[in-house]
């Protein structure tokens, strides 16, 4: 339990204090199931970190351990260099917002925001006037002052989540934890709230950990993204670096569509049935998979010197900034259809139809081999 040197002492009582988070070799099992394996992570103060991974990868469990709602079987948690591993959730001064943050239905918006302060022991509780003032400021911050007297049932989903956030912030947390806070909202509202949360984070400068299974949300919102898979960290990186240099096939697959040529390498070429690509440098022979993102491939009507990848147009999507083609390999196989984007100008010049033949020209490719932990990236031209 809390001792005299609680984490709260590290921060001022007034305003928001920056807190770094250190996770050291965190392990967590539920019965015989190991939900987290040896998680170590350093989150500098003021950073907004996204925990990204498929359902069941351990994101919520890790967040609950940081909050103190769950205890780890092994490992340490430090806030601002102080060991909080054994500190009770109440002593950790973290705020959290969940996907379905139940607001109290019988309380107004203002009373919901004030709740955590109202129930503090008398010694710690600010005066009624002080609480009113703080609630007013928070409602202004989440731009919902005009709804102070309403009840939760009179709010939209997005407004409820903003109130939930105001309620979390009322306690002046040093760390803010968010578990799929926008998961239940529709796409447009999600996007708006995402931008709004990022601005709020930058303005207030707390340290935030944000859970999502949505790649776009993680890449757009986070300073750094932690990709999790089966209770382990696959990769930690800034969004651009993560996207440019995924360290594993798992991360690659998880971050969006990928075009794959799976084949055998011999004589500096990777080949499968009719298809082949000549690699810019020598690589040991054997089985391999070349991954290419939609924008790392061009389409032409004739093959080039370094690749022979015949494709047939399967579908054409004109909606969006570019025209997206789905293409079926001809005389070779791929785990899924290839996808390549072309500009609307290219589309107008070429006027492709369903069933048309063309050739893929790789500009960049990422080669995975069974004996290598991380891919080799190649550039042509």
- Shortest distance, position 213 Cβ to ligand ADP, whole Å: 7
DSSP string, 214-230: -HHHHHHH-SEEEEEET
Nearer to ligand ADP, 43 or 66 (CB): 66
- Shortest distance, position 250 Cβ to ligand ADP, whole Å: 14
Distance CA 134, CA 240 (A): 38
| Partner that binds at residue 58, options ligand ADP, Mg ion, none, CB closer than 5 to 8 Å by kind | ligand ADP
Nearer to ligand ADP, 57 or 174 (CB): 57
Of residues 61-90, those binding ligand ADP (CB under 6 A): 61
In sequence order, the β-bridge partners of residue 174 are none
Of residues 44-63, those binding Mg ion (CB under 5 A): 60
Specify the length of the chain in residues. Answer: 381
Instruction: Return the structure tokens found at 205.
Output: 């400068």
Of residues 33-62, those binding ligand ADP (CB under 6 A): 33, 35, 53, 55-61
Quick one: which of 5, 9, 25, 30 contacts ligand ADP (CB under 6 A)?
Answer: 30
Residue 367: C-alpha distances to residues 67, 267, 308, 374, 378 (Å): 40, 15, 17, 9, 8
Distance CA 2, CA 152 (A): 34
Nearer to ligand ADP, 58 or 263 (CB): 58
Nearer to Mg ion, 101 or 308 (CB): 101
- Shortest distance, position 363 Cβ to Mg ion, whole Å: 37
Instruction: Return the structure tokens found at 57.
Output: 């990868």
- Shortest distance, position 359 Cβ to Mg ion, whole Å: 43
Q: Which residue has the tokens 């950790």?
A: 92
The answer to whether 306 touches 277, Cβ cutoff 8 Å, is: yes
Q: How many residues bind Mg ion (CB under 5 A)?
A: 1
According to the binding rule CB under 5 A, does residue 112 interact with Mg ion?
no
Closest CA to 339 of 303, 305, 311, 367: 311
In sequence order, the β-bridge partners of residue 280 are none
- Shortest distance, position 152 Cβ to Mg ion, whole Å: 23
Which range touches ligand ADP (CB under 6 A), out of 30-38, 162-170, 253-261, 325-333? 30-38
The answer to whether 161 touches 97, Cβ cutoff 8 Å, is: yes
According to the binding rule CB under 6 A, does residue 229 interact with ligand ADP?
no
Q: Nearest-5° angle of CA 106, CA 112, CA 116?
A: 125
- Binding stretches for Mg ion (CB under 5 A): 60
Name the site residues for ligand ADP (rule: CB under 6 A): 30, 33, 35, 53, 55-61
């Amino acid at each position: 339990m809390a001792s005299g040197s609680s984490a709260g002492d590290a921060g001022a009582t007034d305003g928001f204090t920056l807190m770094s988070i250190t996770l050291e070799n965190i392990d967590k099992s539920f019965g015989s199931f190991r939900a987290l394996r040896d998680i170590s992570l350093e989150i500098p103060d003021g950073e907004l970190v996204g925990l990204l991974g498929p359902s069941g990868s351990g994101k919520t469990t890790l967040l609950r351990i940081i909050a103190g709602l769950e205890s780890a079987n092994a490992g340490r948690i430090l806030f601002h260099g102080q060991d909080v591993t054994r500190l009770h959730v109440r002593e950790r001064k973290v705020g959290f917002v969940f996907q379905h943050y139940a607001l109290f239905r019988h309380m107004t918006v203002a009373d919901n925001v004030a709740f955590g302060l109202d129930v503090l022991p008398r010694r710690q509780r600010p005066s009624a006037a002080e609480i009113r003032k703080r609630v007013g400021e928070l409602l202004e911050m989440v731009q919902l002052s005009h709804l102070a007297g309403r009840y939760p049932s009179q709010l939209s989903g997005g407004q409820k989540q903003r109130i939930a956030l105001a309620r979390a912030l009322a306690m002046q947390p040093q760390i803010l934890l968010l578990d799929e806070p926008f998961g239940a909202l529709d796409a447009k509202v999600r996007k708006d709230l995402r931008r709004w949360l990022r601005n709020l984070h930058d303005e207030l400068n707390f340290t935030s950990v944000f859970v999502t299974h949505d790649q776009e949300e993680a890449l757009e919102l986070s300073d750094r993204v932690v990709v999790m898979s089966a209770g382990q960290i696959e990769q930690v990186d800034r969004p651009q670096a993560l996207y440019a240099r995924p360290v594993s096939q798992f991360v690659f697959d998880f971050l969006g569509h990928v075009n794959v040529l799976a084949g055998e390498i011999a004589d500096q070429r990777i080949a499968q049935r009719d298809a082949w690509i000549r690699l810019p440098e020598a690589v040991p022979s054997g089985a391999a998979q070349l991954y290419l993102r939609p924008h790392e491939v061009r389409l032409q009507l004739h093959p080039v010197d370094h690749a022979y990848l015949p494709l047939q147009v399967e579908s054409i999507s004109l909606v969006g900034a570019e025209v997206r083609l789905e293409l079926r390999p001809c005389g070779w196989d791929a785990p899924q259809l290839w996808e390549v984007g072309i500009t609307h100008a290219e589309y107008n010049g070429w006027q492709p139809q369903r069933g048309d033949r063309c050739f893929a020209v790789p500009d960049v490719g990422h080669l995975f081999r069974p004996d290598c932990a991380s891919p080799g990236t190649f550039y042509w031209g």
